[in-house]
Amino acid sequence: MAFNNVGFFTIAPGQRQRIFVTFGGADHGAQAIHAQPLNPGGFLQVNDQAKVLNNDGTFTYWVNVTNIGSVTTNYSVQGGGYV
């Protein structure tokens, strides 16, 4: 399952944020989550991806996003399953 343009976030140079995406219903398997810079000069790194089964049966996918560039960057998240 692919997804794109989820959320709108802003991150300053040198900062790290923990972002999550929750899918309702069935397990969507392994999902890679990446940060999509929305302004020129955006340089973002993702790591520490995780997945949790919530009490209500949904799954939440987590990722750390770090701005390793020199400008404040707006971004959304995108990703998809492995083939």
Q: Is 7 left (phi over 0), alpha (psi -120 to 50) or beta?
A: left
Please tell me the pTM assigned to this model: 0.88
What residues have CB less than 8 Å from 19, skipping those under 6 apart? 7, 9, 33, 35, 62, 63, 64, 65, 77
**Per-residue tens of pLDDT for the chain, all 83 residues:** 788 888 999 999 999 999 998 877 778 888 899 999 999 999 999 999 999 999 998 889 999 999 999 999 999 999 888 76
